[in-house]
């Protein structure tokens, strides 16, 4: 991601001195930027009124954690548009960007923080259009010093970065990678419990891209030297096997997330010291050395690395805050084993030790999410799709859905973390699958690894989702619109179809009215039943359980899958 910083800063550099059209200085109007930096806010209101020069930051904080420059003196707050459609709001000096300010590109990237000579310089936070964020010290447009990455898929990394590691032509622009021949591009991915692999993209001196699975060391695929991220991913996907995944069957029946593939060390601003990386669910951690994964480590070791860098363990984008966690703990503790469940169950099963029984599918009898919340999510999705070029169709391996990931929907994501997970979905999972879980504490040990809104449209785009198994332990979906808005549809389960119409399931499909929640073991063969008219929206989430239970999760998944397959 960081090479983008270079091109972004360079683009500004080219335009700002020549063409910027400053609007009336206005110290308080922050335009439409989301300004997250407290320092910026204090600067705009306190330090930089009119043309008063500013000697030091009012907060007394260091200007940069990596850059050595003394704090620049600003002389005006300006807001302007650049010819490429990007916008800047903040301090300037002699017609150049200098001091503190916020920038947003037409594609949706943002940078909030310190600037000098039209470049990111000092302390700042850059977010690319996919929601990947890096926060730390910058020097002349590249990350320098200590920094924290938050990847859009939820993984995070801390490390020490230094300038001057020139790896050639590395640059990422609008999803296109240009590579220096001979340079290795390494990616690695996590597919939930015990399911991980890494993959290398290697360029031959002739510029061909070769991809392969790291553990196999066999670089089999070749593609042109310049390709999109998607092409990188599909090049990998054609290479095929998921070496450590061992879910027993190869795709195409496995639905995982292409999004989990991340390109690492590939351009300037490379991390040069020791760092740590975490998986999305924070169940796994790796030691990072000079931008390379240097082996898996315990969570405690990763925490030690972070604190030696003076950084906290990065929070997961799906993490519950303290208050939400306390509510969840309380509501799960008060669950009564013998009360009548307010959900229908399907596919009876026993726990792995055979001592408790329950079911693998649970469907709420009542709406659990109110109409306003459902409508707001659909509206946010459609607004975002209209503004930023549509729904994604390529995030999931083999079984893509037309979806928008929740990290691109800030309001929906906040609601999901603060309300849906702790107050509705996790208690529901605890209740429905408590029989299968290996310990009491496991009832509050759920972790989301991916969440997104899917749109099925009978007239255009996706009408159905073919049978598959998800790459998580439990999956749930919330029906976001009313049954009257489409015909057909619903969540299909092969076993329900085989068993005949169980409990109102038609052709094996459970049709949920708006606001209802349907949760199931991810290992069941299931899909999106075809819709024949209208539009269907659902919110889908893939859930694992905390690392302590990974052994259990692995066995549970295999057990369900094997029994499911034996019924095929």
Ligand X SMILES: O=C(O)CCC(=O)C(=O)O
As a three-state string, the secondary structure of 283-352 is CCEEEEECCEEEEEECHHHHHHHHHHCCCCCCCCCCCCCHHHHHHHHHHHHCCCCCCCCCEEEEEEEECC
Pick the closer one to ligand X by CB: 179 or 536: 536
Closest distance of CB 471 from ligand X, Å: 9
**Candidate residues 538, 539, 541, 553; the one interacting with ligand X per rule CB under 6 A:** 538
CB of 474 closer than 8 Å to CB of 521: yes
Instruction: Choose the contact partner of 128 out of Fe ion, ligand X, none; CB within 5 to 8 A by kind.
Output: none
Comparison of 87 and 394: residue with beta carbon closer to ligand X: 394
- The answer to whether the CB of 95 falls within 8 A of the CB of 78 is no
Cα(242)–Cα(249) distance, rounded to whole angstroms? 10
Q: Which does 185 bind (CB under 5 to 8 A by kind): ligand X, Fe ion, none?
A: none
Q: Where does this chain touch ligand X (CB under 6 A) — which range of 21-29, 271-279, 301-309, 526-534? A: 526-534
How many residues form the binding site for Fe ion (CB under 5 A)?
1
Contact call for residues 264 and 134 (beta carbons, < 8 A): no
In the complex, the smallest distance separating the C-beta of residue 396 from Fe ion, rounded to whole angstroms, is: 9
Confirm or reject binding of residue 540 to ligand X (CB under 6 A): yes
DSSP assignment of 53-88 equals --SS-TT---S-SS--PPPPPP-EEEEEE-TTS-EE
Applying the rule CB under 6 A, the residues between 472 and 511 that interact with ligand X are 477, 491
Token pair for residue 229? Answer: 């991220």
- For residue 538, the partner it binds in Fe ion, ligand X, none, with Cβ less than 5 to 8 A by kind, is ligand X
| 516 counts as binding ligand X under rule CB under 6 A | no
Determine the residue with CB nearest ligand X.
528
How many Å separate Cα 24 from the centre of its chain? 38
Task: Compute the least distance from the CB of residue 524 to Fe ion, in Å.
Answer: 9
Nearer to ligand X, 180 or 483 (CB): 483
Binder of residue 481, out of Fe ion, ligand X, none (CB less than 5 to 8 A by kind):
none
Binding residue (CB under 6 A) for ligand X from 20, 430, 465, 539: 465
d(CA 521, CA 433): 9
Residue 395 tokens read as: 């995030």
- Segment interacting with Fe ion, rule: CB under 5 A, options 132-140, 149-157, 468-476, 500-508: 468-476
Q: Are strands 465-470 and 254-255 parallel, antiparallel or unpaired?
A: parallel
- The pair of structure tokens assigned to 276 is 């740590």
Cβ proximity to Fe ion, 426 vs 493, nearer residue = 493
| Candidate residues 409, 526, 530, 544; the one interacting with ligand X per rule CB under 6 A | 526
**Residue 196 touches which of ligand X, Fe ion, none (CB < 5 to 8 A by kind)?**
none
57 binds, among Fe ion, ligand X, none (CB under 5 to 8 A by kind): none
Residue 528 lies near ligand X (rule: CB under 6 A): yes
Residues in CB range of 390: below 8 A, 6 or more apart: none
Contact between 470 and Fe ion (CB under 5 A)?
Answer: yes
From the list ligand X, Fe ion, none, partner contacted by residue 401 (C-beta under 5 to 8 A by kind): ligand X
Q: What are the beta bridge partners of residue 226?
A: 178
Burial class (CB in 10 A: 0-12, 13-18, 19+), 100: buried
Distance CA 536, CA 558 (A): 31
**564 is a contact residue toward Fe ion (CB under 5 A):** no
Distance between alpha carbon 327 and the CA centroid of its chain, in Å?
A: 25
Return the exposure string of 548-559: e unless at least 16 CB atoms fall within 10 Å of the residue's CB, then b. ebbebbbebbeb
Q: What's the CA angle centered on 349, arms 347 and 350, to 5 degrees?
A: 170
CB 119 within 8 A of CB 103: no
Apex 252 CA angle, 251 and 255, nearest 5: 80
104 binds, among ligand X, Fe ion, none (CB under 5 to 8 A by kind): none
Q: Tell me, residue by residue from 386 to 425, as one string, x for binding to ligand X by CB under 6 A and - for no binding.
A: ---------------x------------------------
**From the CB of 255, what's the least distance to Fe ion, in Å?**
5
| Among 8, 142, 448, 454, contact with ligand X (rule: CB under 6 A) | 454
**Judged by CB under 6 A, which stretch of 51-59, 165-173, 435-443, 524-532 contacts ligand X?**
524-532
Which of the listed partners (Fe ion, ligand X, none) does 408 bind, with a CB threshold of 5 to 8 Å by partner kind? none
The two tokens of residue 280 are 């999305």
User: What is the total count of residues that contact ligand X (CB under 6 A)?
Assistant: 12
Among 114, 470, 497, 564, binds ligand X (CB under 6 A): 470
Region 237-266 residues binding ligand X, contact defined as CB under 6 A? 255
CB of 429 within 8 A of CB of 474? yes
d(CA 125, CA 96): 20
Closer to ligand X by CB, 189 or 297: give it. 189
Contacts for 366 with CB less than 8 Å, ≥ 6 apart: 342, 516
Is there binding between residue 462 and ligand X (CB under 6 A)? no
Give the interface with Fe ion as residue ranges (CB under 5 A): 470
Give the interface with ligand X as residue ranges (CB under 6 A): 255, 401, 454, 465, 470, 477, 491, 526-528, 538, 540
């Amino acid at each position: 991601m960081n090479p983008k910083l270079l091109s972004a800063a360079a683009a500004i550099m080219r335009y700002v001195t020549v063409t910027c059209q400053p609007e009336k200085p206005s110290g308080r109007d922050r335009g439409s930027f989301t300004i997250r930096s407290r320092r910026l806010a204090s600067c705009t209101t306190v330090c930089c009124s009119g043309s008063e020069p500013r000697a030091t930051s009012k907060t007394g904080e260091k200007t940069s954690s990596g850059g050595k420059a003394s704090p620049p003196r600003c002389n005006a707050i300006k807001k302007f548009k650049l010819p490429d459609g990007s916008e800047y709001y903040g301090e300037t000096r002699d017609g150049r960007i200098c001091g503190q300010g916020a920038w947003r590109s037409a594609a949706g990237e943002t940078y909030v923080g310190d600037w000098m000579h039209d470049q990111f310089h000092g302390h700042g936070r850059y977010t690319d259009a996919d929601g990947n964020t890096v926060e730390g010290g910058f020097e002349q447009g590249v990350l320098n010093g200590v920094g924290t990455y938050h990847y859009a898929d939820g993984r995070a990394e801390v490390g020490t970065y230094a300038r001057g590691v020139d790896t050639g032509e590395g640059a990422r622009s609008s999803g296109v990678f240009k590579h220096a021949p001979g340079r290795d591009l390494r990616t690695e991915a996590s597919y939930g419990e015990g399911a991980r692999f890494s993959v290398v993209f290697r360029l031959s001196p002739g510029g061909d891209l070769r991809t392969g699975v790291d553990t196999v060391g066999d670089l089999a695929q070749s593609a042109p030297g310049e390709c999109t991220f998607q092409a990188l991913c599909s090049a990998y996907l054609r290479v095929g096997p998921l070496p450590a995944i061992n879910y027993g069957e190869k795709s195409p029946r496995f639905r995982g997330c292409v999004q989990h593939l991340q390109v690492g060390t590939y351009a300037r601003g490379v991390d040069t010291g020791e760092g740590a990386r975490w998986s999305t669910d924070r169940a796994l951690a790796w030691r990072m050395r000079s931008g390379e994964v240097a082996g898996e480590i315990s969570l405690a070791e990763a925490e030690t690395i972070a604190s030696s860098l003076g950084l906290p363990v990065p929070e997961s984008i799906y993490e519950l805050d303290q208050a939400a966690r306390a509510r969840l703990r309380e509501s799960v503790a008060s669950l009564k084993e013998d009360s009548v469940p307010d959900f229908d169950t399907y596919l009876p099963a026993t726990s792995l030790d055979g001592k408790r029984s329950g079911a693998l599918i649970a469907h709420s009898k009542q709406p659990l999410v109110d109409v306003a919340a459902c409508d707001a999510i659909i509206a946010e999705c459609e607004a975002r799709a209209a503004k930023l070029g549509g729904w994604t169709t390529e995030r999931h391996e083999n079984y893509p859905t037309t979806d928008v990931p929740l990290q691109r929907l800030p309001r929906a994501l906040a609601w999901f973390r603060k309300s849906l997970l702790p107050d509705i979905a996790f208690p529901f999972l605890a209740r429905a699958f408590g029989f299968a879980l290996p310990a009491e504490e496991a009832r509050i040990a759920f972790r989301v690894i991916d969440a997104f809104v899917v749109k099925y449209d009978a007239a255009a785009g996706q009408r159905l989702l073919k049978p598959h198994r998800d790459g998580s332990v439990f999956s749930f979906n919330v029906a976001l619109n009313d049954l009257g808005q489409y015909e057909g549809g619903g969540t299909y389960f092969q076993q329900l179809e085989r068993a005949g119409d169980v409990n109102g399931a038609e052709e094996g499909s459970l049709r949920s009215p708006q606001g209802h929640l349907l949760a199931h073991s991810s290992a069941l063969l299931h899909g999106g039943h075809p819709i024949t008219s209208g539009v269907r929206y659902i919110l889908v989430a893939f859930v694992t359980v905390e690392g302590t239970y990974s052994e259990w999760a692995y066995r549970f998944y295999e057990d369900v899958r094997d029994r499911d397959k034996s019924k095929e």
